[in-house]
Every structure is written in C-alpha cells, then in structure tokens.
Amino acid sequence: VEYGNETLNRPLIHMTPTYGWMNDPNGLWYDSKEELWHVYYQYNPNDTVWGLPLYWGHATSKNLTTWTQHDVAIIPPANDSGAYSGSIVVDYNNTSGFFTESTDPAQRAVAIWTYNTPESETQYVSYSTDGGYTFTNYDQGNPVLDLNSTQFRDPKVFWHEESQKWILTVAKTQQFKIAIYSSTNLTTWTHESDFEREGYLGYQYECPGLVKLPLPKNDTTSTENVLSYSNGTLVSNNTVPAETDKWAFFISINPGSIQGGSSTQYFIGDFNGTHFVADYPNTNVIDLGKDYYAMQTFFNSPDGDVYSIGWASNWQYSAYVPTDPWRSSMSLVRKFSLEDFQANPETRILNIKSTPVIDYDVFNFGETFAYENETLNTNNTLHYDLAKNFDGLVEFNLTFTANSSAYGNHDFAGLDLFLRGDMNKNEYLRLGFGANAAAFYIDRGHTEVPFVSSNPFFTDKVSVNNQPSEYVTNEITKYKVYGIADRNILELYFNDGSQVSTNTYFFTGGNFIGEADIEVAADGVFEIEDFQIRQMTL
C-alpha cells in the first residue's frame, strides 16, 4: 500500500459516502420483499463539510456489513434549504392513500423529514413507489406540521400496535421538548403530549426516537414486575400478569453532552400511545465514546429485533477530520436488547445492551493469535505480528482478571493493549486498563497526523465507566472486552455490549494495524484468561 495517502483510510465495513459530507442516519428501514436494508443520511455531495443544499444520500445492504451507494433519494426544494433528518415507515395497508396495487405492500415507503429553510423548520412527507430509490413530495399537503418555528425537527415515526396508530416524535430542540403526535394516515397529526426537560440537556435536544424492547426473562429490576425471590429461587406470582415490554426513549444532545460535544442518551419507561413516562429520571448514555451521535433505529426487521445505527463522529470536530474525498462514517449496525444489569454490587438496573451485527461470511481471515490462562508480569510481554497483506480490519477479544490485593502498592497498575501501525509503529492505539481506577480508557493520541495533535476537541484519551463482568472473589474482578478496528474507527464492547465506546482514530494513510502487544506495569496483578486477535479482509 501507498503510505501517506488519506484516501486509504476509508473503513471497509463502516458505511461511508463515496465522496462529500455525511452526518445523521435517516429513514432506516428494511424491505422484506427484497430482503434489503436501506440507510439514508444527511448528505452534501458538493463539499466535504456540511452545507446547503442538503440532501438525503442513500445506501443499501444485504448483510449489514457491506454497503452499496445509490443516487440521492430526497432533494431539497430550494438551494438555500435542506432535507434535514427524518425517518421512513412502510405503509403496508396504504393508510396514506399514496399507493396503488402496483406497489408491493412491503415497499410502500413513506418518508417524514424536516424541511429547513432560512425562515422555518416544518415537517414534510414524501413517498416512494420504486422501493425507496426516488421519492415524490406530498405537495398537496406539505408541510404536514408547522409550528411557525425555526427549531422544530427530526421526526421519527413508528406504528403503535396497541392503539393502532402512527406515532411521531419530533424535537422542539431549543425548548428541551420532544413532542409526541399520533395519526391514522401519516398526514394529519394530533398533538398528544410533550416529553419535557428530562435528563441531560446540553445546548439542545435533537433526533428523538421511541422504541419497544422486550424485558429480559426473569427480570428483577422493574418496579411492577411480579417476579420475586423465595429461598434464593426466582418465583413468579401469577395473580398479576407480568409486564413483557418496556419502552426506550432516545434523545440526542449537541453540543454539551457528557463526553463533550455530541452524544445520545436514553430513558427506560412506559408509553401508552399518548405519553411516555420514565421509570426513573436517570439518563443513560447509549455509547460512552466520542463518536456516536444521532442514533436511529430501523423500521421493521426480519426477526422483529431492534437494529440501530449512529453517526460515528462528533460535531466538535467532524468538519476537520483528515479523510478525503469524503467525511464521516456510520457505526456498525447494532442490535439492542434490554438486560438486567448489575450497576454496582447493591443495585440492578435495566440497561440496553448493544450487539454488533457482522456477517462473517464476507471475510477472508488472517491467522488467529490466541493466549490463555497466564499471569502477565512486567518482564513478560505478549507480542504478535499480525498477518501481512491485510488491510486494516482487526478484531479481538480480551478477558482478564485484576487482583486488588496485589496492586495496592503501585501508583498505577496498568494493563495495555497496543495496536500498532504496520509501516510506522510510532502510530498506535492503546486500550488501557488502570486497576486502581478499575476503568478502561482508549488512547488515540499517538499518531503523526497533524489534526490529532492540533485539535483539542479530538480528545486523545476517552475513559469508559465499565463494570467488572464478574466479581470472582472479594479481591479478584474480571473484565471482558471485544474490539473491532476498521482503518479509522474503533468500536469497543465491554461485557458483551453492556457498555460500548466508539471512537475514531487517524493514522497516516495506509498505516494499517499490523502488530499487537500486551504489557503490564505491575507484577502479579493481571491474569489473561483469554486473548484472541485476527485480521479480516473483504
């Protein structure tokens, strides 16, 4: 490979536009006739920074791992305007009246999006009769929602089975409100309630989304749950029917998020068709990294599970990242599920667990390097030369224990996994664990790319408030992490996805990860239960 060429840092399985600028994922839906996943996105084809006119770009995938780009799908009506973020639903029963028998029910795609002009933000409806490639604006009725506001955007629609209605959530961004509307035909909307000023506010609310998730079996955290413990065994009290689902309400905040800049928070609670009520007022953050924003879930899926995508960047620095001729990628697709999660030794909470969706059939693999059940010492370092002629896609699993009785006399008992560039080993990623702090951090600051050292918002270290995967004894705790690095983005899944941290990184173009080392800074503290790493290529 040609060292030093930025065009070489394009991720392989994280979706990127061929050229131009991309931000939020939009209109995610699954076409069950073609068995095809559609992803649209905020797109400026004329430059590699955000700008008007702003379009909906379009890509599809059969396997959620490799992507095909298509022509723009939604075109803003004027040059100083934008087709801002929004969603797509499949109108199987033609409730809108837009379709005839000639459009298969599984392909009756209706898009609801924000039309941004210098004067206002209003909600527009468009529909597609060709399976989601081109859209016709509903000119007779647009806008379908107009509050005479310039800060009213990002409609996300879903079908609410219980009330047999379409539900739309949309942000009154600078009032910290998410408005909830209902409709029977996708064009006439009734205001039901506002979810107001909860959780983390930051500067503004954007990109809301409400989604139903099944409760984990034998859930012990829900207040209304009727399961209880008797003699140490979980028993069910059959007099009250147990709740089977909960609702997750997602709200993106930018700027001013917990990590700095942009991130997506969520609440767990109940939705009755008109109002969302959170079980507890606490905010959860769906991804603890710096690069995961404007998360949206898919309408429809083959197995009924909830699939999602986030924009893998941060408004703090997205316009300056060193990629060319495109800017930004999406996250991997993730499946969401609710889990009964040990937040600390005394309390269990409902937590959303993220599982990356990767189709391994599309890859060729390099050799798998593995290491098991060994205590690591300062004079015992693991070093692996990964296979050559691979191109920058690496995954690993690491499970280890830390012994607190042994690290007390060290200022910093660290374990480091280094992932080094093949051509220039001074460029590396470090996944560090500090036993004293009982926390991981990702260190993406060691590169020769000027942007990384010159942009202070591109935080070089990002820590993760993880939990042990197991309290083995009073003194020994176990930690577990899966990581996947794809040329300029690293996704880390702790404890099988209970916590996730997504961060972009930038090495000199073509300097793909080719070496892995594990080192420790203290003796007798760490035992590697399992470490595996391998290269993959398309």
Q: In what order do the strands lie in the sheet with 20-31?
A: 68-74, 55-61, 36-44, 20-31, 326-327
Q: Is 84 in the site for ligand FRU (CB under 6 A)?
A: yes
String of contacts with ligand FRU for each residue 44-83, x by CB under 6 A: ----------x-----------------------------
Q: Is 317 in the site for ligand FRU (CB under 6 A)?
A: no
Contact 19, 326 (CB under 8 A): yes
Footprint (CB under 6 A) of ligand FRU, residues 125-164? 153-154
d(CA 131, CA 154): 22
Q: Is 114 in the site for ligand FRU (CB under 6 A)?
A: yes
Choose, by CB under 6 A, the member of 206, 287, 416, 491 that binds ligand FRU. 206
> Please, which residue, 180 or 382, has the CB nearer to ligand FRU?
180
Buried b (16+ CB within 10 A) or exposed e, 149-181: eeebbbbbbbbbeeeebbbbbbbbbebbbbbbb
d(CA 418, CA 416): 6
d(CA 244, CA 527): 40
- Residue holding tokens 């000639």? 102
Contact 13, 486 (CB under 8 A): yes
Choose, by CB under 6 A, the member of 42, 169, 187, 503 that binds ligand FRU. 42
CA triple 22-206-132, angle to 5 deg: 50
- H/E stretch holding 445 reads strand 439-446
155 prior amide bond cis, ω within 30: no
- Shortest CB 73 distance to ligand FRU, Å: 15
- Shortest CB 205 distance to ligand FRU, Å: 9
Residue type at 246 in one-letter notation: K
Q: Is 265 in the site for ligand FRU (CB under 6 A)?
A: no
**Residue 8 tokens, joined:** 């070489």
Q: In what order do the strands lie in the sheet with 306-311?
A: 293-297, 306-311, 334-344, 347-356
Q: Is 85 in the site for ligand FRU (CB under 6 A)?
A: yes
Choose, by CB under 6 A, the member of 24, 31, 219, 486 that binds ligand FRU. 24
Compute how many residues bind ligand FRU; rule: CB under 6 A.
12
Footprint (CB under 6 A) of ligand FRU, residues 320-359? none
- Shortest CB 262 distance to ligand FRU, Å: 7
**Residue 429 tokens, joined:** 């990623």
Q: Is 111 in the site for ligand FRU (CB under 6 A)?
A: no
Q: Is 443 in the site for ligand FRU (CB under 6 A)?
A: no
Choose, by CB under 6 A, the member of 23, 48, 284, 314 that binds ligand FRU. 23
Footprint (CB under 6 A) of ligand FRU, residues 491-530? none
Clarify whether 443 is annotated catalytic. no
- Shortest CB 68 distance to ligand FRU, Å: 23
Q: Is 287 in the site for ligand FRU (CB under 6 A)?
A: no
Q: Is 115 in the site for ligand FRU (CB under 6 A)?
A: no
- Shortest CB 84 distance to ligand FRU, Å: 3
418 Cβ partners below 8 Å, 6+ apart?
A: 428, 429, 430, 515, 516, 517, 518, 519
Q: Is 28 in the site for ligand FRU (CB under 6 A)?
A: no
**Residue 474 tokens, joined:** 């009073």
The residues that touch ligand FRU, with contacts defined as CB under 6 A, are 23-24, 42, 54, 84-85, 114, 153-154, 206-207, 294
Give catalytic residues, as residue numbers. Answer: 24
